[in-house]
């Protein structure tokens, strides 16, 4: 059996940044496992940019202002010590990327350019046109490839982690290319498997692979998830497909218009207008549609994004990908046309419970979580645009340091024969399984439930019904056969495993949302429309044992800023 000191599952920005830091000690042997080729990870789809208070455009900006904006944006649910840690370390990790060769867009004097983004007091978002994630991901991959002590397991699917209830021992992974299951012994596992906004199957900006596999594995293994009821809906998804048009559109000066041509944000956020935080802008769009000021009705209704006044030159220089997406998927050219848009599921504020923000450790010894699959928590109830990429870079770096030190001073635990074979047996059982349920139907139904009953607007009845129906879907999942029995690139088998992960997480999201009887950030309850600090200024922790979910709450760490009403 192969043995490593550290196994990192996920080769997006979070996994790669962790691996690079970990590999600085050449004696540490690292495996990076990824179900897609690393440069196809969702980080590569990030468009708008990454936040760091460099003060290049307005020098008054500071890590402290970045921290305050983040905390206010989070609706005061973020842990303030962790937010300060992220914001203070942000400039350094950006300069590291600059030295590694990321081609950031520049000011005329050669310094790194910064653009305004939602909820930010200053232009703080560092970018490379509208392909920021793409260039960061490729640069990180180059750096990781240059390390001799990293082995890549590309196109391997995580089946499970192995542990003794106290400490991690290994992982079992499935080779998508040939159907083989292998077990890796390891002292530490870092989960960096990305978000799960694909539980909103109908309408999401996320890659189809963002199915929350690592989050579901943690949940099944008794590791708590934190604040997963908080899902971010991005205001500007293309109307027909839900594909993202970056916040950079509004950062560069784009307007939102209703069918009368009004800039309706003046009703909801008179000061910040289109650059209010995403939760507020998304709800504003939905109110306009509900009150008949959108174009069309029902699920196909929309409002407009207007970029025309920015001019051809700026659109081509700063928003080339946005323009192409609008042309390809909506049939309109933003230089001359209005673009139909509507909110779309985008990001998961919650995730695997990280206990210590400096190390990114979880309650299970040897298990770490970084990136979108983790909840540190720096985003609280609502993330600001550009703050996810900076989270990956800062916490990836410090997790890399922590995990390499942990691995240096700890020992491998022995694996039993049963543990070694567990992954193989699970796959064989799935392949043999018979039943009459259909994968596509159940996935479609899951998408309808999540969108309609636990989307932008929620209430007791809709959430209770979502929870019930998702529990039923989980039972029906047991009767989905894997029709394709082949060994080579069996995508049917992978999709069956991913669907289980999505339904389990979706059910837990409904459960936590049902119990949070208030509105805060991305979680909006029509039956409890106010924020309730007295009862709910706390983090949700959800655990799953023998298929049953239980909830507890832990305090928010408030160090400097007392909760105040959020006005923009
Ligand atoms: C369209 C879009 C635009 C965005 N734009 C911005 C932006 O401009 N600024 C910003 O700050 N944020 C942005 N975000 C958010 C940000 O990009 C993501 O939160 C972030 O990139 C997630 O990085 P990650 O490394 O955690 O996960 P990912 O990049 O999603 O990588 C996950 C990795 O885990 C692996 N993996 C998953 N499951 C398994 C499994 N079962 N077995 C093996 N491997 C597995 C995958 O192969 C992949 O390598 C955007 C998100 C989207 C969807």
> Which structural domain range is residue 316 located in?
235-344
Nearest-CA residue for ligand 1 atom 10 is 386
Residue 75 resides in a domain: no
Residue 493 resides in a domain: yes
Q: What is the rounded CA–CA span in Å between residue 70 and residue 378?
A: 8
DSSP character for 414?
A: P
The answer to whether residue 236 scores a pLDDT higher than 90 is yes
Give the model confidence (pLDDT) of 335-386 as tens digits.
Answer: 999 999 999 999 999 999 999 999 999 999 999 999 999 999 999 999 999 9
The answer to whether residue 417 scores a pLDDT higher than 90 is yes
State if residue 14 touches ligand 1 by the CB under 6 angstroms criterion.
yes
pLDDT at 407 (0 to 100): 97
* Whole-Å CA distances, 145 to 12, 37, 349: 14, 13, 30
Residues 6+ away with beta carbon under 8 Å from 229: 350, 509, 512, 513, 516, 523, 540
* Phi, psi angle pair for 340, to nearest 5°: -70, 125
Locate the ligand 1 atom nearest the alpha carbon of residue 48 and give its number: 8
The Å distance, Cα 364 to ligand 1 centre, comes to 23
Q: What is the rounded CA–CA span in Å between residue 488 and residue 221?
A: 29
- The last residue of a domain, from among 329, 344, 359: 344
Locate the ligand 1 atom nearest the alpha carbon of residue 396 and give its number: 25
The whole-number average pLDDT for the span 304-326 is 96
pLDDT at 297 (0 to 100): 87
pLDDT at 88 (0 to 100): 98
Question: For residue 520, what is the domain's CATH number?
Answer: 1.20.58.100
Lowest mean per-residue pLDDT among 88-97, 289-298, 391-400: 289-298
Residue 305 resides in a domain: yes
The Å distance, Cα 42 to ligand 1 centre, comes to 4
Question: For residue 268, what is the domain's CATH number?
Answer: 3.90.700.10
Residue 104 resides in a domain: no
Task: Measure the CA dihedral 258/261/267/271, to 10°.
Answer: 120
State if residue 130 touches ligand 1 by the CB under 6 angstroms criterion.
no
Residue 312 resides in a domain: yes
State if residue 39 touches ligand 1 by the CB under 6 angstroms criterion.
no
State if residue 41 touches ligand 1 by the CB under 6 angstroms criterion.
yes
pLDDT at 299 (0 to 100): 86
Q: Are residues 324 and 436 in the same domain?
A: no
The whole-number average pLDDT for the span 99-113 is 97
Residue 502 resides in a domain: yes
* Phi, psi angle pair for 405, to nearest 5°: -70, -40
Residue 383 resides in a domain: no
The Å distance, Cα 566 to ligand 1 centre, comes to 29
Q: By the 8 A CB rule, do 91 and 59 touch?
A: no
- The last residue of a domain, from among 303, 323, 344: 344
Give the model confidence (pLDDT) of 475-484 as tens digits.
Answer: 999 999 999 9
- The last residue of a domain, from among 344, 366, 394: 344
Give the model confidence (pLDDT) of 250-283 as tens digits.
Answer: 999 999 999 999 999 999 999 999 999 999 999 9
The Å distance, Cα 97 to ligand 1 centre, comes to 18
Q: Are residues 427 and 324 in the same domain?
A: no
The Å distance, Cα 157 to ligand 1 centre, comes to 16
Nearest partner of 384 among 57, 71, 63, 136, judged by Cα: 71
Residue 512 resides in a domain: yes
Q: Are residues 326 and 442 in the same domain?
A: no
State if residue 455 touches ligand 1 by the CB under 6 angstroms criterion.
no
The answer to whether residue 37 scores a pLDDT higher than 90 is yes
* Whole-Å CA distances, 35 to 359, 477, 545: 25, 22, 27
Structural domains of the chain, count: 2
The answer to whether residue 487 scores a pLDDT higher than 90 is yes
Task: Measure the CA dihedral 112/87/115/238, to 10°.
Answer: 130
The whole-number average pLDDT for the span 229-245 is 96
Q: Are residues 308 and 436 in the same domain?
A: no
Q: Give the pair of three-digit tokens for residue 132.
A: 């920021």
Probe residue for ligand 1, chosen from 17, 37, 43 as the CB with the greatest number of ligand atoms within 8 Å: 43
The Å distance, Cα 393 to ligand 1 centre, comes to 12
The answer to whether residue 212 scores a pLDDT higher than 90 is yes
pLDDT at 318 (0 to 100): 92
* Bridge partners of residue 545, in order along the sequence: 548
Largest separation between any pair of C-alpha atoms in the chain: 68
Q: What is the rounded CA–CA span in Å between residue 319 and residue 115?
A: 12
The whole-number average pLDDT for the span 518-536 is 97
State if residue 13 touches ligand 1 by the CB under 6 angstroms criterion.
yes
Residue 567's pLDDT band (boundaries 50, 70, 90)? confident
Q: Are residues 427 and 549 in the same domain?
A: yes
Catalytic residues: 278
State if residue 344 touches ligand 1 by the CB under 6 angstroms criterion.
no
Residue 39's pLDDT band (boundaries 50, 70, 90)? very high
Instruction: State what percent of residues in the chain have pLDDT above 90.
Output: 98
Q: Are residues 330 and 427 in the same domain?
A: no
State if residue 74 touches ligand 1 by the CB under 6 angstroms criterion.
no
pLDDT at 298 (0 to 100): 85
Q: Are residues 430 and 316 in the same domain?
A: no
Claim: this prediction has a pTM higher than 0.95: yes
């Amino acid at each position: 059996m192969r043995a490593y000191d550290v196994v990192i599952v996920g080769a997006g920005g979070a996994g790669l940044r962790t691996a690079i830091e970990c590999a600085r000690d050449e004696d540490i042997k690292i495996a990076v496992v990824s179900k897609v080729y690393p440069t196809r990870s969702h980080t590569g789809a990030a468009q708008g940019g990454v936040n760091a208070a460099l003060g290049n455009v307005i020098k008054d900006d500071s890590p402290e202002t970045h921290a305050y904006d983040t905390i206010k944006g989070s609706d005061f649910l973020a842990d303030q010590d962790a937010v300060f840690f992220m914001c203070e370390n942000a400039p350094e990790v950006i300069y590291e990327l600059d030295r590694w060769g990321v081609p950031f867009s520049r000011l005329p004097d050669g310094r790194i350019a910064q653009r305004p983004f939602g909820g930010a007091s200053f232009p703080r978002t560092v970018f490379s046109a509208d392909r920021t994630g793409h260039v960061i991901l490729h640069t990180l991959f180059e750096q990781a490839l240059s390390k001799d002590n990293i082995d890549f397991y590309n196109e391997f699917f995580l089946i499970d982690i192995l542990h003794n209830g106290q400490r991690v021992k290994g992982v079992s992974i499935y080779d998508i290319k040939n159907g083989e299951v292998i077990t890796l012994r390891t002292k530490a596992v870092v989960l960096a498997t990305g978000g799960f906004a694909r539980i909103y199957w109908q309408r999401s900006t996320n890659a189809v692979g963002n199915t929350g596999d690592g989050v579901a594995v943690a949940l099944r293994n008794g590791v708590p998830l934190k604040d997963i009821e908080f899902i971010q809906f991005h205001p500007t998804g293309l109307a027909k497909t839900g594909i993202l048009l970056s916040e950079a559109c509004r950062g560069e000066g784009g307007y939102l218009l209703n069918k009368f041509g009004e800039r309706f944000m003046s009703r909801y956020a008179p000061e910040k207008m289109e650059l209010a935080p995403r939760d507020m802008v998304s709800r504003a769009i939905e109110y306009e549609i509900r009150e008949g000021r959108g174009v069309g009705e029902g699920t196909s209704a929309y409002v407009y994004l207007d970029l025309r006044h920015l001019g051809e030159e700026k659109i081509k220089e700063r928003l080339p990908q946005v323009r192409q997406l609008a042309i390809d998927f909506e049939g309109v050219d933003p230089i001359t046309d209005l673009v139909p848009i509507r909110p779309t599921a985008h990001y998961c504020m919650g995730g695997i419970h990280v206990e210590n923000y400096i190390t990114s450790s979880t309650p299970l010894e040897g298990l770490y979580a970084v990136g979108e699959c983790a909840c540190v928590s720096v985003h609280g109830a609502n993330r600001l645009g550009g703050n996810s990429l900076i989270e990956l870079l800062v916490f990836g770096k410090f997790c890399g340091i922590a995990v390499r030190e942990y691995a240096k001073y700890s020992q491998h635990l022995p694996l039993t024969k049963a543990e070694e074979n567990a992954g193989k047996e699970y796959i064989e059982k799935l392949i043999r399984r018979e039943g009459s349920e259909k994968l596509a139907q159940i996935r479609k139904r899951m998408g309808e439930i999540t969108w309609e009953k636990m989307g932008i607007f929620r209430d007791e009845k809709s959430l209770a019904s979502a929870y019930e129906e998702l529990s039923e879907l989980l039972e029906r999942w047991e009767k989905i056969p894997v029709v394709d029995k082949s060994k080579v690139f069996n995508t049917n088998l992978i999709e069956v495993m991913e669907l289980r992960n999505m339904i389990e997480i979706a059910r837990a999201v409904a459960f936590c949302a049902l119990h949070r009887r208030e509105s805060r950030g991305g979680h909006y309850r029509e039956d409890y429309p106010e924020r309730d600090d007295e009862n709910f200024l706390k983090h949700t922790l959800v655990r799953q044992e023998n298929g049953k979910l239980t909830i507890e709450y832990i305090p928010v760490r408030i160090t400097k800023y007392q909760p105040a009403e959020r006005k923009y």
